[in-house]
Amino acid sequence: MRIQRLQTRIIVFFVALLTLVQVAAFVFVNAANSKNARSKVEEELHVGQRVFARLLEQNADKLKQSARVLAADFAFREAIATHDGGTIASVLSNHGERIGADAMLFVDLEGKVVSDTLRPDAVADGKPRAFEYPALLTPSRDAASASMEVLDGRAFQLVAVPVLAPLPIGWVVMGFAVDDAVAKDLRQLTELEVSFALHQPSHREPWSVLASTLDTGQQRSLLTHLPADPAASARLDMDIAGAEHQALVIPLDDNGSARIVAVLHRSLAGALAAFERLRFTLIVLALLSLALSIVGSVAVARNITRPLESLAVSAARIEQGDYSAPVAVQRADEIGVLASSLNHMRSGIADREKHILKLAYDDPLTNLANRSRFANELEAAITQATRGDGRLSMLMMDLDRFKYVNDTLGHSVGDHVLREVSARLESTVKQAECIARLGGDEFAILVRHSDGDLADLARAIIKSLEQPILFEGQPLDVGTSIGIAHFPEHGRDAQTLVRNADIAMYAAKRDKTGFATYDPHYDTSQQEHLSLLGELRRAVEHNELRLYYQPKVSLHTSNISAVEALIRWEHPQRGLVPPVQFIPFAEHTGYIKLLTRWVLQEAVRQCGEWLRDGLRLQVSVNISARDLMNRELPDQVSALLSEHQVPAALLCLEITESGFMEDPAHAQKVLDRLFDLGVKLSIDDYGTGYSSLSYIMRLPVQELKIDRSFIQRMATDEELSTIVRSTIDLGHNLGLKVVAEGVEDQAAWNLLRSLGCDDAQGYFMSKPLDARMLAMWIRANDGLFTGKAGKQATG
Amino acid sequence: MRLRIACLLAGAGFALAPVRAADLVAEIRDSLGNLVADAVIYAEPVGAAAPPPRSDARATIDQVNKEFVPRVSVVRAGTQVSFPNSDNIRHSIYSFSPAKTFTTKLYSGREAAPILFDKTGLVVLGCNIHDKMVAWVLIVDTPWYASSGTDGLATIRGIPAGEYRVTATAPSVGLKGYSVPLKLDAAAARQTFVLEAGS
């Protein structure tokens, strides 16, 4: 089991450590004491052994002395010398009692027992019996020998002394019983338990006790511990009737088949008693200190964990983003330092979060909200408005010609413009919840609780931007298009609302109305455009695109020497799709480059084909502003011309004013190279832009096409007809051929001819035709078109 | 110290038996070949009675410096042996030997009456006070005996010719005696005894 809590871990650690130390101490003390007790007992045993040996020796000496004195007694000797059995027995018995001997024997010089007080019957039968321990019988007159022997199953200290008459005539052997009383005496002197045991190897149970200080039960226990070899001294640990004893086994004299050993032993209990008291004290101390250590470690652990818990609570608060409450731990120790660090961390995180939020939600350039903040604000506003019954609106706007400013004058100017626009927005839009720059020149404004009509606000914004922005004294003219969407009618969620505002903005831009409020109609056309754009890719791959050609008819000669190539899309489901539905979006996405390439290729190819058929026609192709940014365009054109063996003069590229005004320097370079190739260049839709004529004069163009809006209304508008006339004059003065577009009736045709316009193009002559039909039409009308006939011809 | 045995009967023997007499020299050795002092030899006539002992036969065993002098004596049965005490301390002589058992009271000087050794045999004498004092008295029934000196030679002088059983023994040094038959004539005879240990 893993212990998770620090407090528990500290307590467990301390208690375990203390327990370990105490157990170790206890074990060591126990071992040391036990060892001490044992060695003390052992020492006592050895002392006891020495005392015992000395006692036995002294006893033997004393007995020898007594025996010697007895043997020297004249009356005793005299009685012995009588050789009279009865007398000898009585004197032995008499003198034995005198010195306290328990057995008295007289043994003659041959070693035969003459008389025996212990076993008188054994002698009485008259058959001499040999004395059992002949080694005791030394022939010397002065000798006296003693040993421990067994007589009649009992232990005796035997002493033999010769009887002198005056020569030795035999030995008197005196026996002193070694019985329990002797053992007890020895115990008193040695302070050891004393036992005498007999080892008789021939017996089934070789050991028996002769005399002992032990009771019979203990004696039985003792016997089980005695060693197999009685001749060797041994040091034994014995268990005597449940008590531990240390013992010494001392072999005594060996005079035959049996051997007597003395066993000295002592219980460890006495020596261990002191230790038992010590052990009890130790256990009590251990339990006390254990209890104290538990109390102490609980206190220590709490002292540590309480502030840690408080720190954890604080950290959890910080984790949840609550930076308000400081960590409330006031201490001078490491935890205090940690708390203080946590406090610093808390304020640091709070500061950084503020900073990060600013970075995340503010536009650093304008200090307006950024897209993310706006999205959040919008979501919040929608949530609130949904809950209540509120309304809100958003405005989406971008700047006209901002890209032109940014690209031609540099980003610093662009940034200046953006900052200025921001400032004007902020001063103009007071009721806004949020003004944001979504990126680039795109701005969004969130207005809550609006009355549903933000036209005034939009107009105010447009008005605020009419005043040119000054950069280093130079006025910069930026316009804007604004899309407006209302919640909830134009979208119930932020995404939809933003998209619809965007759609409205594009509509405003397209319709040049300045601002527009979202209309579902926009959405469908927009959707259509978008899906068309997706299908446009397929169109190129599946060859669904066609080129139609509209002839340009000379107003002077009615000759037809030029056509304008116009793209048509034969959609498999929609049928013919007009260019206005996909060209602007192709321009917007950059897909126009591919379209232009395709148109160029097809136009040049067709031009070459006509040329080989003997029809020499100049083909005009519309080039977008993006195409003019394409440096490779001149090379591509050159390659196409040579591939289809078409003279450069038969290709005319039509460019709008805005087309080259986006990046005039770059456009100029591309146009110059095209001009060098010999390709003709034409200004298309002239009169709709704001370009200065002086600028156009620098371009290598040969043709000027007057925008259809002038031509279609000039018959009824005097002012317009004046503009057309002066334009024609201007073009002619600049050496340009002037072409009128959108000629739809005889009146226009006649007027243009009277004004000296060079070529006319329009439905009055012919609608755009495919290549085959156009060839037929030209053959029928070339040089013959006068209006009426042409009308019939086109019928 | 030289041992002296007075034999007052020697001349009488020759008078009673007008046969020629000679000396018998016995050389006594132990089994290792050493010459044995204080050995005793005596010759008993075979087929003829020994001359009767004299009724006033006397012998003396003195006590000098807590020793019996001589340590080994040979006497004819019926001899009165007196035990003068030359020491200035008292002695109490006893014998537990079957040939003659007796005890004297403590005495000094010449107080003790002579003791008649009337049976043949070996008597070991001791002093009841001084355990170390030992003397051997061999009581024989023949006038022809002698003890050996340190040269190991014992000489019986003037022994008439005839047949004898000659016995040699040395109880004081623990050698066992034995007898040999010997035919003596007028010429001096020499006999060697080798004694075995024993009592």
Residue-wise pLDDT tens digits, A371-427 = 888 998 899 888 888 887 778 889 999 888 787 777 777 888 889 999 999 999 998
Contacts of A665 (CB under 8 A, 6+ apart): A408
For tokens 């002037």, what's the residue? Answer: A738
Element (H, E) at A560: strand A560-571
Alpha-carbon distance A108 to nearest alpha carbon in chain B (angstroms): 14
Q: Which residue of A has its CA nearest to B172?
A: A167
H helices then E strands: how many in chain A?
Answer: 26, 27
Terminal-residue alpha carbon distance, chain A: 101
Neighbours of A49 (CB within 10 A): 17
Distance CA A191, CA A265 (A): 9
At residue B112, the pLDDT reads 75
Average pLDDT, chain A: 84
Alpha-carbon distance A210 to nearest alpha carbon in chain B (angstroms): 39
Q: Is the pLDDT of residue A204 over 60?
A: yes
Q: Among A81, A164, A169, whose Cβ lies nearest the Cβ of B131?
A: A164
Neighbours of B41 (CB within 10 A): 29
Q: Which of A253-267, A429-443, A625-639, B123-137 has the lowest mean pLDDT?
A: A253-267
Distance CA A712, CA A751 (A): 11
* pLDDT per position as a tens digit, A688-731: 765 566 677 778 889 999 988 889 888 888 888 898 999 999 88
- Chain B residues closer than 8 Å to A164 by CB: 126, 131
At residue A257, the pLDDT reads 65
* Chain A: residues touching B (Cβ < 8 Å): 72, 74, 77-78, 81-82, 141, 164-167, 169
Cis peptide leading into residue A166 (ω within 30°): yes
Distance CA A425, CA B68 (A): 169
Distance CA A643, CA A369 (A): 55
Please give the share of chain A, as a percent, with pLDDT higher than 90.
17
At residue B17, the pLDDT reads 46
- Joined together, the tokens standing for residue A725 give 């006339």
Q: Which residue of A has its CA nearest to B174?
A: A167
Cβ–Cβ gap A167/B134 under 8 Å: yes
* Chain B: residues touching A (Cβ < 8 Å): 94, 96, 103, 124-128, 131, 133-134
Q: Which residue of B has its CA nearest to A163?
A: B131
> Could you tell me if A386 and A378 are in contact, meaning their C-beta atoms sit under 8 angstroms apart?
no
Q: Which pTM does this prediction carry? A: 0.46
At residue A593, the pLDDT reads 83
> Could you tell me if B181 and B163 are in contact, meaning their C-beta atoms sit under 8 angstroms apart?
yes
Instruction: Write the DSSP string, B13-80.
Output: HHHH--S-EEEEEEEEEETTS-B-SS-EEEEEESSSPPPPPPTT-EEE-EEETTEEESSEEEEETTEE
Cβ–Cβ gap B96/A165 under 8 Å: yes
Cβ–Cβ gap B131/A167 under 8 Å: no
At residue A674, the pLDDT reads 92
At residue B155, the pLDDT reads 93
Q: Which residue of B has its CA nearest to A78?
A: B96
> Could you tell me if A99 and A70 are in contact, meaning their C-beta atoms sit under 8 angstroms apart?
yes
**8-state DSSP, A618:** E
Buried b (16+ CB within 10 A) or exposed e, A381-416: bbeebeeeeebbbbbbbbbbbbebbbebeeeebbeb
Cβ–Cβ gap A165/B134 under 8 Å: no
Q: Which residue of A has its CA nearest to B135?
A: A166
Q: Is the pLDDT of residue B22 over 70?
A: yes
Q: Is the pLDDT of residue A347 over 80?
A: yes
Q: Is the pLDDT of residue A738 over 90?
A: yes
* pLDDT per position as a tens digit, B136-179: 999 998 999 999 999 999 999 888 888 999 999 998 888 889 99
In this prediction the ipTM stands at: 0.74
